[in-house]
Amino acid sequence: MISENLKTFLSDEVMAKAPVSEPERQRYFIERLKGFYSAEGGAGLKSCIVTFGCQMNARDSEKLDGILSTIGFKPEEDEQSADIVLFNTCTIRENANEHLYGRLGRLKQVKRSDPDRIIGICGCMMQEADEIETIKKKYPYVDIIFGTHNFHTFPELLFKLLRKREGIMDPIPYEGSGLVADSSEDALRQEKLLRYGSGKKELDKLNRKPIVSVWTDSSNIVEELPSRRKFPFKQGINIMFGCNNFCSYCIVPYVRGREKSRRPEDIYEEIKRSAAEGVKEIMLLGQNVNSYDGGIRFPELLKNIDGITKGSGIERIRFMTSHPKDLSDELIDVMAGGERICRQFHLPMQSGSDAILKRMNRHYDKHAFMEKADKLKSAMPDISLSTDIIVGFPGETERDFEDTLDVVRYVRFDAAYTFIYSKRNGTPAASYTDQVDEALVKDRFDRLLELQNGIAHENLSRLTGTTGRVLFESISEYDDSLITGKLDSGVTVHAKGDISMIGEIHDVRLLECRGFYYIGEVIE
Ligand code: SAH
Ligand code: SF4
Ligand code: F3S
């Protein structure tokens, strides 16, 4: 229970004054929460955000972190000792889900000894109704659940959680086409419990049930809420959200919704602001940046961004991900002529087999993929190509797999992210009956890895003795006399240096190739 004075911060009157439009509404709750926590004497409040999944999730986490820091929370690495822990989840493969449950389980004791701690879960996995049910049943100590379409409403949900703990129920807000789940039944139950005079214990239990608010989609993009960058010198910039491609194995279109592109002006504004704050590298983010459509298309957007960043302090522009089917000659031209656009291209092939690519609904074949890779290389001979490959997609035969190896040998990627196919409920491929035998998949996976590792090492070792520009990002994990950074191509380099060089770009001579990274020497 909190004091009467503190309760006034959470009153119906405060609630009723909240603006209706966004982002003003969430900004209002951020301010009220700030007032509440400072009146509570919350100088030492600590928050921990645990992020799973891709760059899109990482960027969302920075936004959630920005909200929490504005309220007054300081970042804390250890989830066991934070006052609020948020898990930003991924569900791309089954092991991503298992990961979350492991971490949640470890918080059970902590929560038991300190029930006022707040545990929240958001992100892609929360867009799946059955996962929400599992959490409610098996992890009842979770406090807030929200999804990808309404993560900007987090301040409001946190405010409502604090009210609920005092027994004040609110209807759960939503917009758009519907709900995956909410907790409006709690208000009905409370009404019944109060009317029919049930015991205090039941009511207390109800007040401690999670606030759940997960939308199926959203009609607009909410801009202009605070964010706190994980690295002060580099930043992801969302240019679009969602995906319309429905590759038959992939859950993303179901959990991230349909494609929505941000307006170019909003993107430029954000980039200019970041530049003014000292950002050196930006990464334009989208599940398929090549289908960006904010009135102009991606090549033009990229060209404009290269233009506006001239002299701004931003020295590197990256983007991901590009779907091969939509990779245009125009984009290759813009890249080749760009001044700050990194010569790095992530081009996910998934498979080299025409039959499998067709079943995957990828809309290109082996030949077309190799042609795109050739075009990139002939326009930019120094380009670094990377890819994603799935092994063991349903129906994959030895011959299909040989086709994948063929493409890997032909294109000679600098890096390949290889995944064992994981069945995702609700996707078309989950109903295919010809799932591949596990031992066979494992064997193929190992063979692919061996081939690719050899190629990556050969490609990389050619750089020995050359000089490259490195943006230093951190102190080396293994040796604190070394600092670690990345070349334009994305390759990791360790070199002697000190903490003052972090966030700076230096010329580095590449001395020794060790597997997938270099030991270098700073020369300027
Ligand atoms: N939008 C990006 C991919 C995002 S997901 C694109 O189209 O390239 C990142 C990678 O995860 C995919 O490229 C794919 O290789 C892998 N992946 C997606 N769903 C998977 C599944 N069900 N099983 C195994 N790997 C999967
Ligand atoms: Fe998934 Fe395909 Fe969309 Fe990539 S393009 S997110 S693999 S559906
Ligand atoms: Fe995972 Fe969601 Fe990204 S499912 S890969 S975090 S879009």
**CATH code, domain carrying 495:** 2.40.50
Distance 388 CA to ligand 1 centre (A): 7
516 band by pLDDT with thresholds 50, 70 and 90: confident
Helix (H, G, I), strand (E, B) or coil at 238: strand
What percent of the chain shows pLDDT beyond 90?
85
Asked if the structure places residue 502 within a domain, the reply is yes
Q: Is 1 a residue whose pLDDT tops 70?
A: no
Nearest-ligand number for the alpha carbon of 248? 2
Give percent of the chain with pLDDT exceeding 70: 100
Q: Is 245 in the pocket of ligand 2 (CB under 6 A)?
A: yes
pLDDT of amino acid 220: 80
- One domain for residues 168 and 24: yes
pLDDT of residue 222: 85
How far is residue 447's CA from residue 117's CA, in Å, rounded to a whole number? 47
Asked if 270 and 237 count as a contact pair (C-beta separation under 8 A), the reply is yes
Indicate if the alpha-carbon torsion angle 65, 67, 70, 71 is positive or negative. negative
Q: Say yes or no to pLDDT of 109 above 80.
A: yes
Residue 182 three-state SS: strand
Q: Is residue 450 domain-shared with residue 369, that is, in the same domain?
A: yes
Q: Going by C-beta distance under 8 Å and a sequence separation of 6 or more, which residues neighbour residue 310? A: 339, 340
Q: How many domains does the chain have?
A: 3
Nearest to 460 by CA among 418, 497, 493: 493
Whether 220 is covered by a domain: the verdict is no
Residue 340 within any structural domain of the chain: yes
Ligand 3 contact, 250 CB (< 6 A): no
For residue 219, is pLDDT > 80? Answer: no
Residue with CA nearest ligand 1 atom 18? 250
Determine the Cα–Cα distance for residues 501 and 509; give it in Å rounded to an integer. Answer: 16
Is there a domain that residue 68 lies in?
Answer: yes
On whether both 287 and 436 belong to a single domain, the answer is: yes
| Number of Cβ atoms within 10 Å of the Cβ of 220 | 9
Tell which one of 55, 91, 321 to mutate to probe ligand 3, the residue whose CB is within 8 A of the most ligand atoms: 91
Which domain covers residue 453, as residue numbers? 234-461
In this structure, what token pair is assigned to residue 445? 């996976």
Q: What is the pTM of this model?
A: 0.94
90 and 157 share a domain?
A: yes
3-class DSSP assignment, residue 289: helix
Q: State pLDDT tens for residues 315-327.
A: 999 999 999 999 9
Average pLDDT in the 397-423 region? Answer: 97
pLDDT digits (tens, 9 = 90+) for 461-513: 999 999 999 999 999 988 889 999 999 999 999 999 999 999 999 999 999 99
Q: Is residue 490 part of a domain?
A: yes
Does residue 23 have a cis bond before it (omega within 30 degrees)?
A: yes
Ligand 3, atom 3, lies closest to the CA of 54
- Whether the CB-CB separation of 459 and 430 falls below 8 Å is answered with no
CATH of the domain at 251: 3.80.30.20
